[in-house]
């Protein structure tokens, strides 16, 4: 299966084209997840509450979009994506879950397939990615 080299993510009235992340961007995204979760990401995954699920979606959304759509905060007229209201963030989470995450998870599966690794563990860990 050939993956698309980019995905379009619609947030509000604007559509952003996101390309495959570079090695540095992949590392930045994962580092931001750890930083934003206060190094509690795995514990929040295990908790499974509605609040932790929302928080994980928020962490994943902000981590990916801060790195891959740096102009987004300016377009949303925010000083930082972290200072945005939780209610306003739901539009970002919807776009992330609807447009971005399915494409990105396929990207990760392809990466693991290309190196001959079983991606089952990785899929579980990145399900909220």
52-78 pLDDT, tens digit per residue, is: 999 999 999 999 999 999 999 888 888
> For residue 1, is it within any domain?
no
Least confident of 3-7, 20-24, 71-75: 3-7
Q: Are 37 and 44 in contact (CB under 8 A)?
A: yes
pLDDT at residue 52, as a whole number: 94
Show the domain range for 98: 6-124
- Reference 55, options 64, 44, 46, 65; nearest CA is 44
> For residue 69, is it within any domain?
yes
CA distances from 4 to 21, 49, 89, 100, 121 (A): 13, 34, 27, 12, 24
Is a pLDDT exceeding 60 seen at residue 28?
yes
Is a pLDDT exceeding 60 seen at residue 29?
yes
- Considering its fold, how many domains does the chain have in total? 1
Is a pLDDT exceeding 90 seen at residue 44?
yes
Average pLDDT, the chain: 88
pLDDT at residue 23, as a whole number: 93
> For residue 39, is it within any domain?
yes
Q: Is 77 helix (H, G, I), strand (E, B) or coil?
A: coil
> For residue 32, is it within any domain?
yes
pLDDT tens sequence across 67-118: 999 999 888 888 888 888 888 899 999 999 999 999 999 988 888 887 876 6
């Amino acid at each position: 299966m050939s993956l698309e080299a980019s995905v379009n993510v619609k947030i509000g009235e604007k559509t952003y084209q996101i390309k495959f992340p570079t090695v540095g961007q992949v590392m930045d995204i994962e580092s931001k997840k750890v930083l934003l979760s206060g190094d509690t990401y795995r514990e929040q995954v295990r908790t499974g509450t509605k609040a932790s699920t929302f928080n994980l979606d928020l962490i994943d959304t902000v981590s990916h979009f801060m790195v891959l759509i740096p102009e987004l905060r300016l377009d949303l007229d925010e000083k930082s994506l972290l200072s945005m209201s939780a209610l306003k963030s739901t539009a970002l989470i919807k776009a992330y879950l609807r447009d971005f995450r399915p494409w990105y998870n396929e990207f990760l599966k392809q990466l693991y397939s290309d190196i001959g690794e079983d991606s089952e563990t990785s899929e579980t860990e990145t399900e909220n990615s």
